[in-house]
């Protein structure tokens, strides 16, 4: 994983709401945006912004099902960042 991608990933994780979202996605393995909205005190546009950041850095993958987006962790990116941290 190149340095710029690592920096984007850590920047994405520097927000408290995004950390909470990542924890929720990890716990559920696949979660609907509607469930995330139910748990967090944020609006749908704010959630969309956070999810865009998490998807753009490669940590979260998404798929559309009906009118809702579903999210899961991208295991390849997760394993790469685990390896980077373990090597420190």
* pLDDT class of 1 with cuts at 50, 70, 90: confident
Q: How far is CA 18 from CA 6, 67, 88, in A?
A: 16, 22, 24
pLDDT tens per residue, range 27-71:
998 999 999 999 999 999 999 999 999 999 999 999 999 999 999
Q: Please say if the pLDDT value at position 73 is more than 90.
A: yes
- pLDDT, residue 7, reads 95
What are the extents of the domains in the chain? 3-82
- pLDDT, residue 57, reads 96
Q: Please return the burial class of 60, using the count of CB atoms within 10 Å of its CB with bins 0-12, 13-18 and 19+.
A: buried
- pLDDT, residue 29, reads 84
Q: How far apart are CA 25 and CA 84, in angstroms?
A: 21
CB 37 within 8 A of CB 44: yes
CATH label, 3-82, candidates 3.60.20.10, 1.10.10.10, 3.20.20.10, 1.20.840.10: 1.10.10.10
This prediction's pTM: 0.91
């Amino acid at each position: 994983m190149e340095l710029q991608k690592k920096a984007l990933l850590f920047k994405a994780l520097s927000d408290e709401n995004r950390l909470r979202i990542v924890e929720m996605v990890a716990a559920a393995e696949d979660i609907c945006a509607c469930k995330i909205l139910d748990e967090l005190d944020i609006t749908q546009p704010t959630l969309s912004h956070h999810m865009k950041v998490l998807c753009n850095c490669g940590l979260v993958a998404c798929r559309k099902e009906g009118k809702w987006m579903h999210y899961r962790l991208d295991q390849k990116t997760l394993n790469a960042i685990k390896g980077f941290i373990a090597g420190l």
